[in-house]
Structure 1
Amino acid sequence: MATEHRALLLIDFQAAFDDPAAGSRNNPDAERNALLLLARWRETNRPIVHIQHSSTEPGSALRPDSPGHAFKPGFEPAAGEMWLSKRVNSAFIGTPLETALDRAGIRSLVIAGLTTDHCVSTSTRMAGNLGFDVILAGDATAAFERQAVDGTRIDAETVHGVNLASLDHEFCRVYDTETIVASICG
């Protein structure tokens, strides 16, 4: 893993994902790992981008007028850190993210966020397709259980694992937080 300058992209670390109605979730340490990345990026004065989902869907817990829209504690953007609101799964659609990164000369990203199979996967795929060199912090993401088309239940760990496997070496490289911190910020 190269040690070049990379931006940390934190996707949708929002209160809505703490609602038990969301169902069973894997990786209870995702937020702790993401906060370790965030702390290290801040300590080394590296660029950080916070993405916040602002749903327009009626009844969504991620609507701007909902308590679930708020950043989880510790994930609030600090002065000088970029914050962008998105309305769809990709952090690149309908936002100035690509332009802002280009203007800053950033072509390398480390991504962490919620959820692995939705906004994290979509944003990672787009970043890779747009030519960014992407590292995904696999242990700083999490997924919820899903129901398959045939009605069977897919547990959260399987959803998470299949998505990481689909992304790795196609759109990004998946590493754990410890490896990222040691290699990039060491």
Structure 2
Amino acid sequence: MRSALLIIDIQESFRQRPNWAAVSNPGIAATVAPLVADARERGDLVVWVLHAEPGTGNVFDPAAGHDFVRYQEGLEPRPGEPQLVKTSANAFTTTGLQQLLTTEGIRHLIVTGIQTELCCETTTRVAGDLGYDVTFVTEATATFPIAHRDERDLPFADILASPRTLSTADVIARTEYALAGRFATVATVKEVLAR
């Protein structure tokens, strides 16, 4: 069965934010690169997704006078590999992803990217609801500590110091508990490469 490797939001925008200092996987591009090479070798579809927030002026705004809405160094699409730009948390709602997958006859997705519990998990849940078989490669995702709802406006250093902040390890564990056996099969990079 032909699969599609989704590379979600592994972009420079995230590296420009203060919370990058606390990211769970600063080498995510290097973690995902072997999956890209493997997918290409197998003839699987490699789908590149970027997140944009037009008109915001922030690091996700492609027209804000900087060049941050681009893939991180070490990851580069080849000619002919689909590139999508989304403006929602999941990779389906504001793109033609489902049409692309249908046209290509793909029913199995391998999910990688930033953020584990946000765009990656949300894409996985939507894919599961749409009937796709999904492999969620947790170690090929990255996330950040999450502030308690009452502390979201604190300075970043205070968020990190707060005992109410959810650690990246806790975020990752919660995501795996929520997805495994419900919306996806959770796998390691090694397991995906050995398939």
Normalised TM-score (structure 1): 0.90
Q: CA deviation at 1:60?
A: 2.4
Task: Say which SS state the counterpart of residue 101 (structure 1) adopts.
Answer: helix
- The runs of 5 or more residues in structure 2 that have no matched partner are 152-163
Runs of 4+ with deviation above 3 angstroms: none
> Letter of the aligned partner of 1:160 in structure 2?
I
Cα distance 1:30–1:107, how it changes in 2: closer, same or farther (>3 A)?
Answer: same
Q: Deviations over 1:137-177 (max 9, x none)?
A: 11100110111124421112211221122111111011000
Q: Secondary structure at the match of 1:137?
A: strand
* Structure-1 separation of matches of 2:27 and 2:114: 12
SS in 1 for 2:83: strand
Q: Deviations over 1:92-111 (max 9, x none)?
A: 00211101100111111111
Partner of 1:60: 58
Q: Distance in 1 between matches of 2:181 and 2:28?
A: 21
Q: Kindly provide the amino acid, as one letter, of the partner of residue 172 in structure 2.
A: H
Matching residue within 1, 5, 17 for 2:2: 5
Higher RCO, 1 vs 2 (CA within 8 Å, ≥6 residues apart)? 1
Distance 2:78 2:101 in 1: 18
CA RMSD of aligned residues (A): 1.5
State the 1:17 CA deviation: 1.6
Match of 1:15 among 6, 12, 17: 12
1:83 corresponds in structure 2 to 83
8 A contact 2:25–2:142 mirrored in 1: yes
Shift of 1:22: 2.1
Q: 1 CA distance for matches of 2:119 and 2:81?
A: 20
Larger Rg: 2
Q: Tell me the residue number matched to 2:114.
A: 114
- Between the aligned partners of 1:162 and 1:118, the Cα distance in structure 2 is 12
Q: Secondary structure at the match of 1:60?
A: coil
CA distance in 1, matches of 2:93, 2:74: 26
* C-alpha distance in 1 between matches for 2:56 and 2:17: 19
Matches of 1:150 and 1:86 in 2, distance apart? 29
Q: Which amino acid in structure 2 is aligned with residue 5 of structure 1? A: R
- 1:116–1:164: 8 Å Cα contact kept in structure 2? no
